[in-house]
């Protein structure tokens, strides 16, 4: 899993969502144009604390208030979104269906090839 934040002043933009902190600013996330302004953090379900610490460091660099950083860090470490599927039967079944289908794996790689290469993820093994 990967989370991207483009930090400009006190606006955080992750994907297509915006979180406004202490300001009413708008920002369109032109990732392809602003890629050098991004800090890319890997988020592993096995080590969320590493992600939270790295994110906290970046927020401190941007002079985000301590209380906001603590709120964000606590949220990252303790909460899952309502739509999370990590560890569920549905996730396991979906993963198995995709991983065992050459057609679906090919489609997945074609859809996310740029993401795999940009973020340094290995391309998945393709079923025969």
Q: What tokens does 61 get?
A: 């660099």
CA distance linking residue 1 with residue 87, whole number of Å: 14
Give Dmax over CA atoms of the chain in angstroms. 53
Predicted confidence (pLDDT) at residue 114 exceeds the cutoff of 90: no
The per-residue pLDDT for 66 is 92
Distances (CA, A) of 6 to 2, 28, 58, 82, 91: 13, 10, 11, 24, 29
CA distance linking residue 32 with residue 117, whole number of Å: 14
Of residues 94 and 19, more confidence is placed in 94
The per-residue pLDDT for 20 is 43
pLDDT digits 0-9 by tens, 32-90:
677 787 777 877 777 788 889 999 999 999 888 999 999 989 888 886 666 677 778 98
């Amino acid at each position: 899993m990967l989370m991207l934040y483009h930090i400009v002043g006190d606006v955080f933009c992750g994907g297509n969502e915006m979180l406004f902190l202490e300001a009413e600013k708008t920002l369109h996330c032109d990732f392809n144009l602003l890629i050098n302004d991004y800090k890319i953090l890997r988020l592993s379900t096995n080590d969320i604390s590493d992600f939270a610490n790295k994110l906290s460091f970046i927020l401190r660099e941007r002079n985000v208030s301590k209380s906001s950083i603590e709120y964000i860090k606590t949220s990252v470490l303790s909460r899952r979104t309502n739509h999370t599927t990590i560890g569920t039967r549905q996730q396991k079944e979906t993963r198995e269906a995709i991983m065992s289908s050459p057609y679906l794996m090919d489609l997945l790689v074609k859809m996310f090839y740029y993401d795999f290469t940009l973020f340094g993820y290995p391309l998945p093994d393709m079923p025969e």
